[in-house]
């Protein structure tokens, strides 16, 4: 009779303030979301545990509902695990839900869509209690042109011009990885003194959403002539602190 503990695949939903962290992915000597979670879950399990995320949010980017998963043998019930991890986490990271899932579940490869939101504060004065989570832009913008361009992002496109280049991306490109992505919806919403860009897509490249926002701002400033089609060049990358991962769909 085999009494060895059964391996359990655990799916978690996480909210975090990305300001104090150098992004999701583990980096030696730097605080990251993945690094903090792995340290705590490994301590509970009593051996190293890898926590896989649905994607890598950049340094300073926030999440309302990031999804991650890991495999443990500890028989602790999901509700108790949620409480135990939250007791050990810093206040800038919180586990929202915990559930046991199919052992084959992967939060990245099984994701069908992701939703991001970028928040622009439009008032002349930005409260210090809002400042860490918005990009303050009180200057005139032609919002009708921005909305037209936002609609042009929808559909299947090659977003190479909107992706940040790094060594890892260059290696992936040589292996034939495509930078074609499908944007299901792309819209600008005015809400309580904020201009919010909300985008839902099949997946996103490094800095892609922030580059889309930078391009929208260029359109709002009148620096893009044709707002009915995807530009061939990206605008400046918008600051990380205004960006939120809203949800991951499966």
Domain ranges of the chain: 8-101, 113-249
Q: Are 220 and 146 in contact (CB under 8 A)?
A: yes
58 is annotated as an active-site residue: yes
Q: What is the mean pLDDT of residues 121-130?
A: 97
pLDDT reported for residue 174 = 43
Domain 113-249 CATH assignment equals 3.30.420.40? no
Average pLDDT over residues 136-165: 96
Identical fold for domains 8-101 and 113-249, yes or no, is: yes
pLDDT for position 131: 97
pTM, whole model, 2 decimals?
0.93
Q: Looking at residue 227, what DSSP letter applies?
A: -
| Per-residue confidence band for 2, with pLDDT thresholds at 50, 70 and 90 | low
Per-residue pLDDT at 73 exceeds 50: yes
Summarised one tens digit per residue, pLDDT across range 203-212 is 999 999 999 9
The residue from 58, 144, 169, 173 that is catalytic is 58
With a pLDDT cut of 70, the percent of the chain lying above it is 94
Residue 3: predicted pLDDT: 65
pLDDT digits (tens, 9 = 90+) for 179-194: 999 999 999 999 989 9
In whole angstroms, give the CA distance from residue 97 to residue 69: 11
Give the residue-averaged pLDDT of 143-171: 87
- Residue 140 confidence class, pLDDT cut points 50, 70, 90: very high
Where residue 175 falls among pLDDT bands split at 50, 70, 90? very low
Which helix (H) or strand (E) segment is 42 a member of?
helix 33-45
Strands (DSSP E) along the chain, which ranges? Answer: 8-16, 52-53, 62-72, 93-101, 113-121, 135-136, 155-158, 180-191, 194-201, 243-249
Band of the pLDDT at 173, cuts 50, 70, 90? very low
Lowest mean pLDDT segment, chosen from 16-25, 75-84, 168-177: 168-177
Report whether pLDDT(202) > 80: yes
Return mean pLDDT, the chain.
Answer: 94
Residue range 76-102: mean pLDDT, rounded: 98
Which region among 4-8, 135-139, 160-164 has the lowest average model confidence (pLDDT)? Answer: 4-8
The arithmetic mean of pLDDT across residues 191-205, rounded, is: 96
CATH code linked to domain 8-101: 3.30.70.580
Pairing of strands 62-72, 243-249: parallel
1 has pLDDT over 70 = no
């Amino acid at each position: 009779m085999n009494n060895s503990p059964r391996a359990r695949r655990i799916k978690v939903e996480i909210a975090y303030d990305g300001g104090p962290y150098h992004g999701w992915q583990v980096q030696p000597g730097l605080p990251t979301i993945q690094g903090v979670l792995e340290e705590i879950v490994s301590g509970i399990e009593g051996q190293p545990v890898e926590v896989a995320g649905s994607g890598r949010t950049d340094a300073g980017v926030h999440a309302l509902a990031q999804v991650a998963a890991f495999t443990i043998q500890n028989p602790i019930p999901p509700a108790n695990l949620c409480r135990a991890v939250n007791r050990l986490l810093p206040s800038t990271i919180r586990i929202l839900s915990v559930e046991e899932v199919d052992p084959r579940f992967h939060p990245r490869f099984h994701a069908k869509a992701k939703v991001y939101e970028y928040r622009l504060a439009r008032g002349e004065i930005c409260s210090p209690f809002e400042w860490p989570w918005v990009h303050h832009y009180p200057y005139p913008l032609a919002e009708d042109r921005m909305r037209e361009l936002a609609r042009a992002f929808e559909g299947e496109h090659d977003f190479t011009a909107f992706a940040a280049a790094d060594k890892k991306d260059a290696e992936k490109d040589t292996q034939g990885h495509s930078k074609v992505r499908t944007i299901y919806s792309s819209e600008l919403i005015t809400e309580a003194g904020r201009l919010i860009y909300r985008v839902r897509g099949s997946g996103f490249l490094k800095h892609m959403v922030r580059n889309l926002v930078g391009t929208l701002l260029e359109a709002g400033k009148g620096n893009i002539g044709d707002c009915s089609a995807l530009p061939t060049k990206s605008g400046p990358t918008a600051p990380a602190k205004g960006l939120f991962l809203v949800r991951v769909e499966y």
